[in-house]
A and B are shown apart, each in its own frame.
Chain A
Amino acid sequence: MTASPIDYADVQGLVRFGYKRMTEASYVLARVKDAAAARSWLGSAPVTNAATRDSPPPTALQVAFTSLGLDTFGVPAAVLAAFSPDFLGGMTEASRSRRLGDIGSNAPEHWEWGGGAATVPHLLVMFFAEPGQLAGFMQRTTGPAWDAGFETVRRLNTADLDGVEPFGFADGISQPVIDWNDTRTRSKDRGNDYSNLTAVGEFLLGYRNEYGKYTDRPLLDADTRSADLPIAEDAPEKKDLGRNGSYLVMRQLRQDVRGFWQFAYRAAGGDLAQAEALAAAFVGRTRDGVPLVPIADHPIEGIGPDPEEVRQNRFTFDDDPTGVRCPFGAHVRRANPRNADYPGRPTGLARLFAALGFGSKGFRDDLISSVRFHRILRRGREYGPSISTHDALLAAPADDPERGLHFICLNANIARQFEFLQNAWMINTKFSALTGESDPLLGTREPRPGCPVTDAFVLQNDGRVRTQVSALPQFVTVRGGAYFFLPGLRALSYIAKAHG
Chain B
Amino acid sequence: MTPQAEFFVLAPVIPAREADLRRLLASMNEAPGRLKPDNGIIPFAQFDRLHVARLLIIDDKTVGDNQVYHVTPPKYPLYLGFLGDVDGDADTFLAELAARAPAGLRALFSCCEGFAAESDLGAWMKAHGAPSSASYVNWRGRTVRRIREEAALHDALQSHIEGSASELLRMPPAGVHAKLRELVNRDVAAGRLTLSPEEPTPFGWRLRNLLHLVGVPLILLLLSPLLLVAAIVFAFRLRQLEKTDPELCQRHDPMLGAELALIEDHDVSNQFSAMGSLKPGFVRLWTTRFVLLAIDYAARHVYTRGRLARVRTIHFARWTFLDGTKRILFASNYDGSLESYMDDFINRVGFGLNVVFSNGIGYPRARWLILDGCDDERKFKEYLRRHQMPTQVWYKAYPGLTAADLERHVRIREGLESASLTERDARDWVALL
Contacts and interface: CB of A to CB of B under 8 A. Distances in A.
Interface of A: 81-82, 85, 88-89, 93-96, 98-99, 211-216, 322, 341, 354-357, 359, 361, 363, 366-367, 369-370, 373, 413, 415-416, 419-420, 423-424, 428-430, 433, 435, 448-451, 460-461, 463-468
Contact of B378 (A99, A216, A460): A216
B336 A416 contact: no
B427 A468 contact: no
B309 A363 contact: no
Given A356-B309, A430-B402, A450-B268, A467 B339 contact: no
B173 A419 contact: no
Most buried by A among B252, B310, B337, B343: B310
B265 A373 contact: no
B interface, by DSSP: helix, strand, loop or mixed? Answer: helix
A333 B283 CA distance: 47
B105 interface: no
Given A211-B375, A355-B309, A463 B172 contact: yes
A133 B272 CA distance: 55
Interface stretch (B53-61, B160-168, B189-197, B210-218): B160-168
Interface string B334-346: 0111011001100
A81 B250 CA distance: 12
Given A355-B310, A366-B348, A416 B402 contact: no
Top 3 A-B pairs ranked by shortest CB distance? A450-B400, A450-B399, A95-B261
Interface residues of B, number: 61
Contacts of A85: 251-252, 254, 257
B347 interface: yes
Given A96-B261, A450-B400, A467-B165, A357 B303 contact: yes
Nearest to A436: B158
A363 B254 contact: no
B376 A211 contact: yes
11 contacts: A93-B261, A95-B265, A211-B376, A213-B377, A367-B404, A373-B343, A430-B268, A430-B402, A463-B427, A465-B161, A465-B171
Interface in B178-193: none
Interface of B: 34, 161-162, 165, 168-173, 176, 251-252, 254, 257-258, 261-262, 264-268, 303, 307-312, 335-337, 339-340, 343-344, 347-349, 351, 375-378, 398-402, 404-405, 407-408, 411, 427-428, 430-433
Contacts of A88: 254
A366 B310 contact: yes
Given A211-B376, A357-B308, A363-B408, A423 B401 contact: no
B404 A430 contact: yes
Contacts of B267: 448-450
Contacts of B337: 99, 420, 423-424
A451 B408 contact: no
B146 to A, nearest CB: 17
B402 to A, nearest CB: 5
A322 B431 contact: yes
Given A213-B375, A369-B344, A419-B339, A357 B430 contact: no
B342 to A, nearest CB: 9
Contacts of B176: 464-465
Contact of A464 (B262, B303, B430, B432): B430
Contacts of B428: 363
B265 A99 contact: yes
A356 B401 CA distance: 26
Contacts of A467: 165, 169
Given A85-B254, A211-B375, A433-B405, A366 B312 contact: yes
A63 to B, nearest CB: 26
A356 B295 CA distance: 12
A94 B33 CA distance: 13
